[in-house]
Amino acid sequence: MVEMNGFAMTVEFYKNLLDRLHIKVEVVRAGTYKSAVEPFFRTNLSDNNRDQLQAILDDITDTFVWDVAESRGLEPEYIRRQMDNNGTITAKDALESGLLDGLRYDDEVRRSLALSAGLDPDDKLRTVSFNSYARDSRKSMKRGPDEVAVVYAVGSIMPGKSSDVPNPFLGGKTVGSETFMDAIRRARRSKRTKAIVIRINSPGGVAPAADAMLREIREAAQELPVVISMGDVAASGGYWMAMGSQTVVAEPLTLTGSIGVFSLMFNASGFMDETLGINYDGVKSGPYADMYSGLRSFSTEERAMLQRSTDQIYRAFLGLVADARDLEVDDVDRLAQGRVWTGMAAKERGLIDELGGLDRAIELAVEAAGIDADQLGIRVYSTPRGFLERFSQPLVRALVRVVFSVSGSDAANHLMKTSNHLSDLIGANGKVLARMPYLIETR
């Protein structure tokens, strides 16, 4: 079967779950479109959220239609009719529609590959897994006297050390400010480094951590050309840190922008009392000493304090973007409000400079540094790990593979991702966040 049924985007809502657990959520936000916090107090999309998600989905659909049409030598309107009228078709129908080149069994495909490579078709075809290929490609990065350093920022932005292993029980990948800053410093201090490319794939995170990473990027940009390369997502705090460079490259469908901030506060007193039968009492030195305890709701004064802090960080975010993108603050405010854009839409609005992948970002870095192609080297920087990390992380990776293989179904894997996502948010309880707090899944 061949699916040509288009795309759908779903957002998870947690209000009913929180109500059943007797957990209350305090939400403070800055930005009309920072509706990303609505899963905690709504059971459906607001009009603003629906508008922005539909715009993203339309860009995804347009890109798919044009790419498939170009690849197959067909008209875009023909591809759209296939999606609208047929949905799911058989392989035979797909062949007759020009969507496929042929119908082959696995052994026939392998035999064809062997013949194409000039090998004996009767010999076993040696293959390599995608993960091994990606890992070996990184190890074999080109070396030369003049290097472009590639520094990755992957995962939710948090203070402290990074975790590059998705934990199936406690949370997903994180990029720690200390880890990232150390990698940037080592890259710019190397005599070989002539330019730096920062590859961001992050929905954002804790605002002060993103700001610390931004400063380190700015420090490097005073000495060397720095180019930002955005992956699948570089939103909120991920976009914040991208403002450290004058050159920003994004994929056409990168989820970016989301210029806005929010704070979440979970009040679990009802859960502890009514569900578990545990209640609390105590003393404090002042009226606000226990405001972040998670065992009571905010008072009017406390909510005003947090709203003031959130608004101040939002205004700082607007000023940061205005300076970096050479825009007026009021113009940025109209583009901001927490709204998420695709790379294509961000390019049209001046939020990024170019559309392209990591290779294009490296090309721009080479041009800016004036590196001769014959002298070019590319080096990926990561933070050195201690013995315990080197020993334990392969075990955790193996555990992740086991858990996901045992869980098996898409539904079980989806629940695992949701658990990781909520774990990240709960861990940032009471902090001002610059991140996308919902999961967007496009199917």
Catalytic amino acids?
Answer: 34, 236
Burial-class residue 349 by CB neighbours within 10 Å (0-12, 13-18, 19+): middle
Strand partners for 88? 3
How far lies 4's CA from each of 73, 78, 335, in Å?
A: 17, 12, 33
Strand partners for 257? 235, 340
Rounded Cα gap, residues 367 and 362, in angstroms: 9
How far lies 26's CA from each of 10, 239, 302, 383, in Å?
A: 24, 25, 11, 37
Distance of CA 319 to the CA centre of its chain: 23
By C-alpha distance, which of 181, 244, 236, 168 is closest to 206?
236
Strand partners for 154? 201
Residue with tokens 């909520």: 422
Rounded Cα gap, residues 407 and 174, in angstroms: 23
Q: Is 56 helix (H, G, I), strand (E, B) or coil?
A: helix
Strand partners for 163? 174
Strand 441-442 with 226-235, pairing: unpaired
- Residue 1 corresponds to which amino acid? M
Residue with tokens 């080297």: 377
By C-alpha distance, which of 160, 326, 361, 151 is closest to 250?
361
Angle ∠(303,309,315) on CA atoms, nearest 5:
130
Rounded Cα gap, residues 29 and 311, in angstroms: 8
What single-letter DSSP state applies at residue 146? E
